[in-house]
Chain A
Amino acid sequence: MPPVISTNQLTKRFGQFVAANALTFEVDKGEIFGFLGANGAGKTTAMRMLCGLSTPSDGKATVAGFDVYTQTEKIKQNIGYMSQKFSLYDDLTVTENIRFYAGIYGMNTKAIKTKTNELLQELQLEKEAKTLVKALPLGWKQKLAFSVAIVHDPDIVFLDEPTGGVDPVTRRQFWDLIYAASDKGVTVFVTTHYMDEAEYCNRVSIMVDGVIAALDSPANLKHQFSVANMEDVFYELARNAKRKAD
């Protein structure tokens, strides 16, 4: 089976500054791929290129089988995205939020209706269907945001620090959702600052100063650096960084 994301020497330059330098990696279908790096390491730049938001300066990449230079519209159809901000509309109800996001992906009315009911049931939010999102607890909002990000059944979902500011228990529950999505074949591309989350990933890449400094499963990485946990792996790599965090 061909990889869902494939990059080759993917580079982004802003003038003299090389934000992402010759990134080469592949992500397989259904994989949970952790994308780690200190602030300013180039994670966001890389992710923006893969989402079709930013044109690479050099190199090649395909996402869901589509070229990042020429087929960004196709890419957008086939990916989901969720950021730390959860990106829900506070003044809309739970149902309205689901319907809106399903709607802008071009789903038809009937499909939207089915999907909405399905999601409400899965998240056990049936009673809250008509509640404004602002009244929901943080953990629920976050789960809803994730479900909304994959409401159109994308091949890949990009999660940009999805668990920022959430307590460990809620974070753990959130990862259950990620596993469930991955089991259904959705590829999960996730950036995080929490090293316990890095442990949950199938494979992890760690960016330092715009390049990928390490890429392997958490177990192999720990073995390679002869340390007990991902925290130390990250520290070993990131402490040599020359770039200042922004």
Chain B
Amino acid sequence: MRQLITFIRKEFLHVFRDRKSLLMLFGLPIAQIVLFGFALSNEIKNSRIAIVDYSKDATTTRLISKIAASDYFDFQRSLAGADQLQAAFKKGDIKMAVIFPANFGDDLMHTGKATMQVIADASDPNQATTITNYLSQIVTDYNAELAKDAGQPMQINPETQMMYNPELRGAPNFVPGVMALVLMLVCTMMTSVAIVKEKELGTMEILLVSPFKPVYIIIAKLAPNLLISVLNLFIILLLSWLFLDLPVKGSLLLLVTCSILFILTSLSIGLLLSINAQTQQAAMMGSLMGMMLPTMLLTGFLFPIENMPLALQILSNLVPSRWYFIIVKRVMLKGLGITAIWREMLILTSMCVLLFTISLRKFKIRLQ
């Protein structure tokens, strides 16, 4: 045990002496979150919209002029009929369309309620959400005005429809995505580099000749990386809560447990990589090319997996981050509990155990 502690202390010294890497390790998640954060919180102005007014009464005219007066919208044109909308959306001429059905004003006056239709091009989900929110805001204001004038509640309901991407994949997706990416990269790269470094230095030989157990070498190598990754995790969660308004809705404990599971899986992958790599460069390239691309492409946070060819869909099952991504989305964004993610947890656990066992055995075999 004392030997192990000696070794772990040494590993921490390596990490803290290497200021540049340390800066990168913590800078990476912060940069990602801040970048994505600004991209998200940026206001979208002058979105081109079209309006189809079948009612053409005083109410719709007033509402249309309010919409047109807003900075957020660039009121392109009034279309005669809904049939022209499709073409305009397809060409990308407009980002959003507002449709007032016939008798809109009459309905509102007589029943106190009316429904308008809002269609947004959701191929860019962030933008679609943002501009429909702007519009809802204007309608809500208008509702209040009307109610004051009429002395009774008036309710215009914007009925929103997202075209092309009804589930709005993408908006809060990136935080779980960044978490998966950063943890995966940091863990695999740091571990593989740390072990290969000993090989390059020739110190591995000494360690193998010493009575120090190989499994201890592995544990000692993983310890600082585990700690850094958990710290990174909290930084990401804190940043997304503070800047992106994405708090952890579910159980934090559950999220952290699953994250540690994912971290251990990634560490095992790093271990496996290090056994085959001879130089630090090879280890680094292996982690970058071997892990970053599959993680980015096959996790589902950049491209929906359902839209991929079958072969890639099957392949994506092998990518640990895919399962972690699902877990984070469910626990962090939707606030679901363990019953919603036990299957994913089970898959991750099996991956972790399998990978760790293989790398441990291969590590021992190499010593022979």
Residues on A with C-beta less than 8 A from B14 are: 89, 91-92
Q: Is the CB of B6 within 8 A of A104?
A: yes
Is A39's beta carbon under 8 Å from chain B? no
Shortest Cβ distance from B6 into A: residue: A103
Q: Is the CB of A53 within 8 A of B367?
A: yes
Q: Is the CB of A91 within 8 A of B13?
A: yes
Q: Mark A66-105, 1 if CB is under 8 A from B, else 0.
A: 0000000100110101111111111110001001110111
Complex formed: what's the CA distance from A151 to B21 in Å? Answer: 32
Is A202's beta carbon under 8 Å from chain B? no
Task: Out of A81, A92, A99, name the residue touching B209 (CB < 8 Å).
Answer: A81
Q: Is the CB of A53 within 8 A of B209?
A: yes
Is B211's beta carbon under 8 Å from chain A? yes
Q: Is the CB of B201 within 8 A of A104?
A: no
Complex formed: what's the CA distance from A83 to B5 in Å? Answer: 25
Q: Is the CB of B7 within 8 A of A103?
A: yes
Is A108's beta carbon under 8 Å from chain B? yes
Residues on A with C-beta less than 8 A from B7 are: 100, 103-104
Interface size grouping (class) on chain B? 20 to 34
Q: Is the CB of A89 within 8 A of B209?
A: no
Q: Nearest Cβ in chain B — how far from A131, in angstroms?
A: 13
Is A55's beta carbon under 8 Å from chain B? yes
Complex formed: what's the CA distance from A91 to B22 in Å? Answer: 14
Is A170's beta carbon under 8 Å from chain B? no
Is A229's beta carbon under 8 Å from chain B? no
Residues on A with C-beta less than 8 A from B367 are: 53
Is B18's beta carbon under 8 Å from chain A? yes
Complex formed: what's the CA distance from A215 to B13 in Å? Answer: 46
Residues on B with C-beta less than 8 A from A79 are: 209
Complex formed: what's the CA distance from A205 to B110 in Å? Answer: 111
Q: Is the CB of B201 within 8 A of A90?
A: yes
Q: Is the CB of B2 within 8 A of A106?
A: yes
Complex formed: what's the CA distance from A88 to B203 in Å? Answer: 7
Given contacts A83-B202, A87-B203, whether A104 and B212 have CB atoms under 8 Å apart is: yes
Q: Is the CB of A87 within 8 A of B13?
A: no
Complex formed: what's the CA distance from A42 to B289 in Å? Answer: 38
In residues 254-282 of chain B, which contact A (Cβ within 8 Å)? none
Q: Is the CB of B210 within 8 A of A87?
A: no
Q: Is the CB of A96 within 8 A of B13?
A: yes
Q: Nearest Cβ in chain B — how far from A71, in angstroms?
A: 12
Is B3's beta carbon under 8 Å from chain A? yes
Q: Mark B7-37, 1 if CB is under 8 A from A, else 0.
A: 1001001100110000000000000000000
Q: Is the CB of A103 within 8 A of B3?
A: yes
Q: Is the CB of A87 within 8 A of B201?
A: yes
Residues on A with C-beta less than 8 A from B210 are: 76, 81, 101, 104-105
Shortest Cβ distance from B16 into A: residue: A91
Q: Mark B178-222, 1 if CB is under 8 A from A, else 0.
A: 000000000000000000000001110111111110000000000
Q: Nearest Cβ in chain B — how far from A127, in angstroms?
A: 21
Q: Nearest Cβ in chain A — how far from B255, in angstroms?
A: 35
Given contacts A89-B201, A92-B13, A104-B7, whether A53 and B208 have CB atoms under 8 Å apart is: yes
Q: Is the CB of B6 within 8 A of A100?
A: yes
Q: Nearest Cβ in chain B — how far from A60, in angstroms?
A: 19
Most buried by A among B2, B5, B13, B210: B210
Q: Is the CB of A85 within 8 A of B201?
A: yes
Is A230's beta carbon under 8 Å from chain B? no
Is A54's beta carbon under 8 Å from chain B? yes
Q: Nearest Cβ in chain A — how far from B200, in angstroms?
A: 9
Given contacts A53-B367, A91-B14, A91-B17, whether A105 and B203 have CB atoms under 8 Å apart is: no
Is B368's beta carbon under 8 Å from chain A? yes
Q: Is the CB of A91 within 8 A of B206?
A: no
Residues on A with C-beta less than 8 A from B202 are: 83-87
Given contacts A91-B14, A92-B10, whether A55 and B206 have CB atoms under 8 Å apart is: no
In residues 134-173 of chain A, which contact B (Cβ within 8 Å)? 149, 158
Task: Out of A82, A88, A96, A104, name the residue touching B3 (CB < 8 Å).
Answer: A104
Residues on A with C-beta less than 8 A from B5 are: 103
Q: Is the CB of A96 within 8 A of B10?
A: yes
Residues on A with C-beta less than 8 A from B211 are: 73, 76-77, 104-106
Is A51's beta carbon under 8 Å from chain B? yes
Shortest Cβ distance from B14 into A: residue: A91
Residues on B with C-beta less than 8 A from A73 are: 211
In residues 25-55 of chain A, which contact B (Cβ within 8 Å)? 51-55
Residues on A with C-beta less than 8 A from B209 are: 51-53, 76, 79, 81, 158
Complex formed: what's the CA distance from A87 to B207 in Å? Answer: 10
Task: Out of A55, A81, A90, name the residue touching B368 (CB < 8 Å).
Answer: A55
| Nearest 10 Cβ contacts at the A-B interface | A85-B202, A103-B6, A81-B209, A76-B211, A91-B17, A104-B212, A87-B206, A87-B203, A87-B202, A100-B10
What 15 additional pairs, Cβ within 8 angstroms, besides A96-B10, A103-B3?
Answer: A51-B209, A53-B208, A53-B368, A82-B206, A85-B201, A86-B202, A88-B203, A92-B10, A92-B13, A92-B14, A96-B13, A103-B2, A105-B211, A149-B206, A158-B209
A-B contact pairs, 30 of them (CB 8 A): A54-B368, A76-B209, A81-B205, A82-B206, A83-B202, A83-B206, A84-B202, A85-B203, A86-B202, A87-B202, A87-B205, A87-B206, A89-B10, A89-B203, A90-B201, A92-B13, A92-B14, A92-B17, A100-B7, A103-B3, A103-B5, A103-B6, A104-B3, A104-B7, A104-B210, A105-B3, A105-B211, A105-B212, A106-B3, A149-B206
Interface residues of B (CB under 8 A from A): 2-3, 5-7, 10, 13-14, 17-18, 201-203, 205-212, 367-368
